Structure 1
């Protein structure tokens, strides 16, 4: 390595990877605030804020400040991802798989921003808005995978539960992703469009909310089944992860039901968006808990025979 590049410690790398997760969750919450305050077209074009300016103007009022502020936060999230990528490059010894994940997070952020720009250019088309949210979820998943690769030891991946239970965990993850996708359809049919003139997706809010609720019930049922299955095989770490997942799901479900029966107040919708990120992270934690990396024991070196060689006596 270049003598002018100082190696990065594992502690710093872990902190940066964790900061990347937190920052990407934060940008989802602030993006929700843009929509919930009807500021989605506070900057009516992209990448400029107006046709004549890259920044908000006083004539655009509070909506412009909120939308432009969220755009600026994207740069902050990108800087954290860049710092993490540079730390991965400088860390020694470099672990296999770290670099592709760091690159995916770094380039995922501008890709997500481009989708956000398309939402503005399409006047907050609800399907594109949903895609914008799901793109953020994909970046969060990549950031989580990067963090786990940093904190886990080097070594081969070994399953800690029987393969049928690993399959059940994968099915649960798939259902969790499906619930997130359907949740964007519910949002696209509801009242918080991001702008008073934005279109809705045309789905019946009551019907699609019921489909979403059915998916949540299925997800909770699968998660509870994982608790009992993991406990039956003595997988304590996996059991704890499944218990946390069920707790997060129940909290998220409670917020969802309350917001539905209270006519979708903005504050609860924002909390529900944060909950969606936490459900994804808890689901991924369960998936990771079904396997572990076991360090490879160092190969014993043969003892040197030099010191044991007798020296002939001289007469």
Structure 2
């Protein structure tokens, strides 16, 4: 088998879908490892960027465990970049080539260096809590692009149509928007709390108790919208996939809410805070899944061959 044919197999649709899914999983994992950097006070383990020190791009023995943790998180960015570059190549090699699929792959790929730059600014600003929050929210944006890319690899190339009544589609969109608001307010809570990433990092100055109450209020709003969406989808006999996606969103929110309440009343233990960060990614993905489940993409109609004029027997 030639190298070209092997590469063609590598860039086939099943592999493209796996690469897209790996991009989603990798972006969630890097949020988890980024949380580990902050929770172990390793945020300035590499005190500068893009180098780890003024003289070295890698950690040094003098920097200890904090340097290893921070540098390890930086290395994961290169692994994720390799995955998305391979996905872009695979999308480009698809035949027939789908322009929308290529653009989604490129968007997911460019999110990785953009996120790395925000991470560098985070270090250069000595873990400014507002920039740290932006770093997390940038990951949520990249996850959204990666998820859209993954879904596109599993769908035909054609127009979309809603599979539920218009008001429920609007409710699904509203649920996603409120989920995004919950994430934003969650970064404000984090910026007011004790886990700054380094003992000398500043806090955002917000009252932790007050902003936590605001966060809880937005969570209750999200939960109410999700319950309403689940019940409404069942009432109109929506496709089973949409009802199931709404149910999974509810379960993700309840699990995330439980972790949030326990961590708040137990003094924010590191393990629970880390689980809460990863849980935020899962709730975000579940909300996106509900939105995607309320529409479907239809295959393009096959072009009809032009009629070939025939000569009558009399003409012959």
Partner of 1:74: 77
CA shift for structure 1 position 163: 1.0
Match in the other structure for 2:174: 171
Aligned twin of 1:190: 193
SS in 1 for 2:69: helix
**Residue 132 of structure 1: CA displacement?**
0.3
The reply to whether residue 19 of structure 1 matches residue 11 of structure 2 is: no
- C-alpha distance in 2, partners of 1:97/1:140? 17
Partner of 2:283: 279
For 1:251, which of 238, 252, 255 is the aligned residue?
A: 255
Q: Distance in 2 between matches of 1:17 and 1:259?
A: 33
Match of 1:288 in 2: 292
How many Å apart are 1:238 and its aligned residue? 1.1
* Equivalent in 243, 246, 260 of residue 242 of structure 1: 246
Unaligned runs of 5+ in 2: none
Q: 2: distance between equivalents of 1:217 and 1:153?
A: 37
What runs of 5+ residues in structure 1 fail to find an aligned partner? Answer: none
Partner of residue 9, structure 1: 12
Aligned match for 1:110, one of 98, 109, 113: 113
Aligned pair partner of 1:154 in 145, 154, 157 = 157
Matched position secondary structure for 1:198: coil
Alpha-carbon distance, 1:296 to partner: 3.5
The alignment's C-alpha RMSD in Å is: 2.1
Residue 137 (structure 2) pairs with residue 134 (structure 1): yes
TM-score (norm 1): 0.94
Number of residue pairs aligned between Structure 1 and Structure 2: 310
> Following the alignment from structure 2 to structure 1, what is the Cα–Cα distance between the partners of residues 229 and 55?
56
How far the C-alpha of 1:292 sits from its partner, in A, is: 0.4
- Cα displacement (A) at 1:143: 0.2
Residue in 1 that maps onto 2:268 = 264
Distance 2:309 2:114 in 1: 60
1:301 deviates by 5.0
CA–CA separation in structure 1 for the residues paired with 2:159 and 2:140: 28
Give distance in 2, aligned partners of 1:300 and 1:53. 63
1:83 alignment counterpart: 86
CA drift of 1:298 comes to 3.0
Q: Secondary structure at the match of 2:296?
A: strand
